[in-house]
Structure 1
Amino acid sequence: MRDWQPFLGLPLWVWLFIFPTILAAFCLLYRKPAERLLTPVWRVLDRIYLGAGVVAACFMVTILLLIIGQMISRWSSVTFSGSTEYAGYAMAATSFLAMAHALTRGAHIRVSIFLNMNRFLGFWLDALAMWIAAITATYFARYAIKTNVLSKLLNDRTQGQDFVPEWLLSFFSMFANAPSKWAQIWAETGSEWVYTPVWLPQLPMSIGTVLLAVAIWDYLTRLLVTRQSSIISEAVE
């Protein structure tokens, strides 16, 4: 963990792993206060997961529209440059943004053969599995963000034929800069189309993995407070 730089005076791994684990222990030992404290947070997070699922569904519709656009371009003998790359970006965004919402709907594969042996053993095995999954997902999210930042630093560009307008890059750059720099960003923005920087299609990956990590920590605290899993698969008839 040598590259886990300090954040607000503490190493980043303390914020990402130690404090959430302490919160989980608090939920285990003090169920009623934890429930009163976290219930409003749970409601907000449920809306965020649902919103991410809606955005993922929109990207899925985008894939359909791109396929239709490719068909029309072939019929009309018009070149649709970058359509394959755009479809790949939309597919990646669909997959990553839907992960947290899929978890809340029980769509992820969970091996429950040992969880059904008895209630006591099932609770502790489920809690242990959720904690390990939360640690793993947090690692994944951290390095997904690091990959995004590295692509930005290297100014890595796509090797395909896809282009994006400069104003779109300026829009997303605003979130990574202080408001005092926004005027300068837009003053330097042109009207040209440029090769897609790799960090742009990587953004949904970073956002999706962060949401997944938050969702697993979230559902771990719910499990420890309520003593039953909140991840229930939808019945398919």
Structure 2
Amino acid sequence: MPRPTRACRTALDGLYDGAAALAALFMLALLAMVMLSILGRQLHFNLSGVDTYAGYMMAGAGFLALAHTLKRGEHIRVTLLVSSLHGGLKRGFEIWALFAASLLAVLSALYSCKLAWQSYLFHDVSTGNDATPLWIPQISMAVGTVILAIAFVDELVLEVLGRRVVPTSDEATRNE
């Protein structure tokens, strides 16, 4: 693999891994919020907004983990049709599916970024007691969808170049 391609691949993999690490931090923050809520109930004190922030952390973790999950082959993939195809027809279908997924991911990213930007411009705040500016938790959604769009375009380019390796998950065999 040429040096610029290797550097690009390293940067993209670093982006996906970094988003996954950030998602893990959001999960730890979610745990902290839940623990604070439980302690508050047991020790008879109230921290307003803890449940809301737990929801923000859950959403952030989910969106930030999307690209890493895609690149590891852990997304749900319906292979009934693809498994029956062979050769050029199968490759053509894969390219079409990745193009459609890339387009949807880019649209999702654009609208997520637009939502966060409009929330910032209009000074939208949550309806709870915390009155958090909504653009703050929406940033994780916007960043997660942008990284997912990059990952889908990455998969599409790899498929077109004939370098895509479809990762497979052993999840089905572990569940049955």
Letter in 1 for 2:168: S
Matched, 1:202 2:142: no
What are the within-5 Å matches in structure 2 for residues 14-93 of structure 1? Answer: 37-93=4-60
How far the C-alpha of 1:158 sits from its partner, in A, is 1.2
**Contact 1:114–1:122 under 8 Å retained in 2:** no
| SS across alignment from 1:111 | coil
Match in the other structure for 2:151: 215
What per-residue deviation string (whole Å, max 9, x for no partner) do you get for residues 20-59 of structure 1? xxxxxxxxxxxx9xx7653321221011101101111111
Letter in 1 for 2:165: S
Matched, 1:232 2:167: yes
Structure 1 stretches of 5 or more lacking a match? 1-31, 163-194
Aligned in 2, Cα 1:39/1:112: closer, same or farther, shift over 3 Å? farther
Matched, 1:146 2:81: no
Distance, in Å, in 2 between the alignment partners of 1:161 and 1:149 is 23
| Alignment TM-score, normalising by the size of structure 2 | 0.90
Distance, in Å, in 2 between the alignment partners of 1:59 and 1:97 is 9
**Contact 1:115–1:121 under 8 Å retained in 2:** no
The range that moved more, 56-65 or 109-118, is: 109-118
**Contact 1:97–1:204 under 8 Å retained in 2:** yes
**Contact 1:219–1:230 under 8 Å retained in 2:** no
1:157 to 105, 122, 125: 125
| Alignment TM-score, normalising by the size of structure 1 | 0.68
More helix by share: 2
Distance, in Å, in 1 between the alignment partners of 2:126 and 2:170 is 42
State, as a whole percentage, how many aligned pairs show the same letter.
35
Letter in 2 for 1:86: Y
More strand by share: 1
Letter in 2 for 1:208: G
Letter in 2 for 1:100: A
Match in the other structure for 1:11: none
What per-residue deviation string (whole Å, max 9, x for no partner) do you get for residues 75-94 of structure 1? 11111110110001001101
Higher CA-based Rg: 1
Match in the other structure for 1:126: 94
| SS across alignment from 1:115 | helix
- The alignment of Structure 1 onto Structure 2 pairs a total of residues equal to 171
Match in the other structure for 1:104: 71
Structure 1 consecutive aligned stretches of length 4 or more whose deviation exceeds 3 Å? 35-39
Structure 2 stretches of 5 or more lacking a match? none
Q: In angstroms, what is the RMSD of aligned CA positions?
A: 1.7
